Amino acid sequence: MPIDPQAVGLEGDPVRRSWNSKDCLLYALGVGAGLDDLQFTTENTKDTPQRVLPTFAVIIGGGGVPFNKIGSFNPALLVHGEQGIELLGEIPTEGEVESQGRCTAVWDKGSGAVVEMESTSVDVATGEPLLKTRMSVFLRGEGGFGGERGPSAKIAPPERAPDHVASFATRADQPLIYRLSGDRNPLHSDPSFAKLGGFDQPIMHGLCTYGITGKALLDALCDGDPARFKAMDARFSKPVMPGEKLKISMWVDGNECIFQTRNQDDDVVIDQGKMRFE
């Protein structure tokens, strides 16, 4: 059957995910942390306890969403549209969560359908919620079923200079490291598969760009303290190619920040960015 707009409210089956210190270190390296970030990239540095990057939430959270209950679609035509995380506590260096997700919206965009999902992850050891994730996907060719188009509100950066700007040069082999955190889609590693998708070369994982952006926000707004990082939402607007240079611009208002990530050609690759911190 095609996409079912009545799927809104349906829940998936609970899913458990465990992780350890090595998983956290590998993720940090995958999003560009290095020698200046030993609290995230080592576990045995003197006077530097290991901690976890907040955006690691996208690796351990997000489970239990009911994609198998929303109707039929071609997974090859699925595009990750938006991603959000909310931290209810600092992520430990090892643990296990149980995630329960549900479909929160189905929108008809004509050329495709937008499906929104959210998931809450509970720390198995404590029984307390640890984090929440939100995501939307665009399913090409699945629109036209007569549903509502959905909200059109936009988050625009203020018309003034940003309060902080951070730069990051991605590596040509960055996707090969990031994929070891779980996303083995050959679009990010196999040149022949990338060409089938219309790209001259493998592209960066959108969630890798998200993690790079999240670390820039953490450094600039939280002094590198994960406990101060509370939430981050963003939309993927253009693929990033490995080796490109990124610029993250931040406009701060109290304990909230609007942000935007651009490549070296000044093309926006992440927009609609909003982050909350303490």
Q: pLDDT for 198-221, tens place per residue?
A: 899 999 999 999 999 999 999 999
Task: Report helix, strand or coil for 258.
Answer: strand
Asked whether residue 94 carries a pLDDT value surpassing 90, the answer given is yes
Please list the active-site residues.
183, 188, 203, 206
Whole-angstrom distance, CA of residue 194 vs CA of residue 107? 28
pLDDT of residue 74: 87
- Residue range 51-60: average pLDDT? 98
The pLDDT assigned to 163 comes to: 98
| Banded model confidence at residue 222, pLDDT cuts 50, 70, 90 | very high
| Interval 51-61 mean pLDDT | 98
Under the banding of pLDDT at 50, 70 and 90, the label for residue 53 is: very high
Quickly state the pLDDT bin for 44 (edges 50, 70, 90). very high
Task: Enumerate the β-bridge partners of residue 250.
Answer: 164, 259
Q: Name all domains of the chain by residue range, CATH numbers in brackets.
A: 5-140 (3.10.129.10), 164-277 (3.10.129.10)
DSSP β-ladder status, 78-87 and 15-19: unpaired
pLDDT(1) > 70: no
Six-digit token string for 7: 């799927």
Q: What is the pLDDT, as a whole number, of residue 223?
A: 98
The DSSP secondary-structure symbol of 191 reads H
pLDDT band for 42, please (50, 70, 90 cuts). Answer: very high
pLDDT at position 152 is 83
Q: What is the mean pLDDT of the chain?
A: 96
Average pLDDT over residues 20-48: 98
Q: What is the per-residue pLDDT for 196? A: 86
Given phi > 0 = left and psi -120 to 50 = alpha, else beta, which region is 219? alpha
Q: Once rounded to an integer, what is the mean pLDDT over residues 50-55? A: 98
By the 8 A CB rule, do 59 and 20 touch? Answer: no
Segment 147-171 shows an average pLDDT of 94
Give the Å distances, CA to CA, from 276 to 85, 94, 159, 208, 212.
Answer: 10, 25, 20, 20, 17
